[in-house]
Amino acid sequence: MSLKVSSVSCYRSGYKIIDNISFELKTGKLALISGSNGSGKTSLLRMVAGFIPLSFGDISFNSKKEYRDEFFILGHNLAIKDDISPEEDIKFWSSYLGSGYINGVLERVGLGKLKKTPCKYLSQGQKQRLVIARLLSSNKSLWLLDEPSSSLDRDASIFLKEIINEHKNSGGSILVSSHIDFLDNADIKINLDNKNVSS
C-alpha cells in the first residue's frame, strides 16, 4: 500500500509551480513537504488530492489513479459554516465521508464545552481543532495535511503530533506540508526550494 508520485510537474498560467518531483510514501510512513512561501507545498498536496491537474508525471495510490475516497485532506480553508455547531459539523462530515460519528471525539480535541456553540464564535485555533476532530473521525488511510499547525497553540500542536504518530503506527500514511519543521520524525523530507527528496 503506497502513494507513488512519479516525475510530477505542474504549470499554471505559464508559470512552473512544481518541477519534476518523485517520491514514494509507503504504509506507516510520514512525508514532510517543506519550502518557503510560494514554493508549491499547497499545490503539490492539491495535485495528490486530484484537485489540480498534472502537467506531467503520474500519481497513484495503491496502484489506482482514482482514490478520492481513500484520503482525508485538511487544507487552508476549513469548510466550517458559521451557523452550525461543532457537534452538527462533526456528525455531518463523519456520516457523509462514510466513517460514522465517534462519541467523545470533540472532547478529545478540547471542544467538549463548545460543542453546541455556533462555529462563528470559535477562534481560528478552535476551528482548526474541529477539523482535527473530523480527521480523527475520517477513518481514511491517507492523510493530506496542509500547514495543520498554523493556528494551533502549543498544547494543540503537541496533540496533533500525537495523533499523527498514532495514525502512522496504526499503518496510515501521512503527507504534511509545513513551512516550519514541527515534525522531527518524518520518514521522507521533500524540500521544494532545492527539489531535494531525502529518506
Partner 1 sequence: MFHLKLLLLRELKSSLSLKGSYILSLAFFSITIIVLPIGIGPDKNILSLISPGLIWVSLILTSLLSLNSLFHEDYIDGTLDLYKTGPLSFSEIAFVKSLVHWISNFLPLLFITPVLSLLIALPNNLLIYISLSILIGTPSLSFIGSLGSALTLSLRQHNLLIPLIIFPLFIPTLIFGSGSISSLIFSGFEEVFIRQIYLLTGISGISLVICPFICGYILDSNYD
Binding interface with partner 1 (CB under 8 A)? 12, 46, 49-53, 68-69, 71-73, 75-84, 92-93, 95-98
Nearer to partner 1, 12 or 26 (CB): 12
Closest separation in Å from C-beta 2 to partner 1: 19
> Shortest approach of partner 1 to residue 198 CB, angstroms?
29
Q: E strands along the chain, which residues?
A: 2-12, 15-26, 30-34, 56-61, 71-74, 142-146, 173-177, 188-191, 196-198
DSSP SS3 for 143: strand
Smallest gap, in angstroms, from Cβ of residue 136 to partner 1? 15
CA distances from 143 to 20, 23, 24, 26, 62 (A): 23, 16, 15, 12, 14
Instruction: Return the number of the residue (23 or 72) whose C-beta is nearest partner 1.
Output: 72
Q: Please report, in angstroms and rounded to a whole number, the separation of the first and last CA atoms in the chain.
A: 18
Q: Enumerate residues 6+ apart whose C-beta is below 8 A from 116.
A: 85, 86, 87
- Residues 194 and 41: their CA atoms lie apart, in Å, by 13
CA distance 79 to 1: 29
**Which residue number, 29 or 140, has a Cβ lying nearer to partner 1?**
140
Closest distance of CB 73 from partner 1, Å:
6
CB of 33: closest distance to partner 1 in angstroms? 18
Give the nearer residue to partner 1 in terms of CB position, either 119 or 183: 119
Question: Of 92 and 159, which CB lies nearer to partner 1 in the complex structure?
Answer: 92
